[in-house]
Amino acid sequence: MLKLCLSALTVSLLLFSSCQSGAKESGNSATAADSAATAPAKTTEAAAADTTAATTAAADTTQTSAGPLSPLDSLAMIGPKITGNILPAKRILAYYGNPHSKKMGILGEYPKTDMLRRLDEEAKNWEKADSLPVQKALHLVATSAQGSPGKDGKYRMRMSDKTILKVIRWAAEHNAICFLDIQVGLADLKPELEHMEKFLKLPYVHLGIDPEFSMKTGARPGSKIGTYDADDVNTAVQFLDRVVKENNLPPKILIVHRFTQRMVTNYKNIKLNPNVQIVMNMDGWGPPVLKKDTYRAYIQKEPVQYTGFKLFYHNDIKRPPHKLMTPAEVLSVTPKPVYIQYQ
């Protein structure tokens, strides 16, 4: 197995700046290199921006003859009209990041108008690649792992309602769906899921969970690569299933990030559910040959339901041949991914 310098979130550039160097896998066992210490975590503008942010945005409130609607009620009136399964009839193209951080991903790297224009241009490239229609998406890190414990010692920060509502509105007004991504740190997954429930009641809002920052050993996020078991994925699936049933919603999509063997354990025990579409997303960066190798090793060889592939505008071109994979190159892998994420 070739060596691969990877990080699902550029080791969460919202808070961390490092590279898991020399990580490699052999068979079903991960080497110590996967747990190599990273550079010390550092807080960025995103943390400061959301620490004292208001929990709702007055600008999101819509006035009707019956009085003002709540921000969520207002958002329920707009957005793409999703009535059934999105996958596999469409390929989702998502821009990832956080609007408070230019370093974390394309979603926050550029001003809103420029970012959405770039998303539209990228969508055209994918529409030319094959016959599958493209569903555009914004993928927000809504709960971010932290390098410091915080008041509750959980090493995670929940973005304010104001920030989450803002990105959902960006998506809705652009006929795009929205993903809320959770990095739990040392927190339990279930309460973090429940914290997002009110947003997930919107038919075009979906969920992502990131094993990289699930620190079951109590280690600081960023110092080791975390893990989820099939039980954790099933917890998220059962949660989404309940939200769908109670609110009469179309099926939800669950993105599970992965780029090492032990990030997801006991994958055969993950239970499929008609109300939840599970995507295992190849979340590593590096040259094309190494990205394909990782996809084969941890996505193709351990199939669950649907597959995803992540591209990094900056990190993927750091090493020779210094080029970003084209849609045609990504679609040369088997199975063809139906979720594409750009950071």
pLDDT for residue 10: 37
The residue with tokens 């229609």 is: 133
Contact 141, 9 (CB under 8 A): yes
- Tens-digit pLDDT string for the chain (343 aa): 333 433 433 334 344 433 333 333 333 333 222 222 233 333 344 444 454 343 334 344 455 555 688 999 999 999 999 999 999 999 999 999 999 999 999 999 999 999 999 999 999 999 999 999 999 999 999 999 999 999 999 999 999 999 999 999 999 999 999 999 999 999 999 999 999 999 999 999 999 999 999 999 999 999 999 999 999 999 999 999 999 999 999 999 999 999 999 999 999 999 999 999 999 999 999 999 999 999 999 999 999 999 999 999 999 999 999 999 999 999 999 999 999 999 9
pLDDT for residue 68: 84
Burial class (CB in 10 A: 0-12, 13-18, 19+), 200: buried
Domain spans of the chain, in order of start: 4-25+38-50+69-342
Question: Pick from 110, 108, 79: which is nearest to 96 by CA?
Answer: 108
217 DSSP 8-state letter: T
pLDDT for residue 67: 67
Question: CA 118, 256, 71, 136: dihedral to nearest 10 degrees?
Answer: 30
172 sits in which H/E element: helix 161-173
pLDDT for residue 65: 54
Contacts 24+ apart (CB under 8 A), 146-153: 146/15, 146/41, 146/43, 146/47, 146/185, 146/221, 147/15, 147/16, 147/40, 147/41, 147/42, 147/43, 147/220, 147/221, 147/222, 148/41, 148/43, 149/186, 153/186
252 sits in which H/E element: strand 252-258
pLDDT for residue 11: 36
CATH class, range 4-25+38-50+69-342: alpha beta
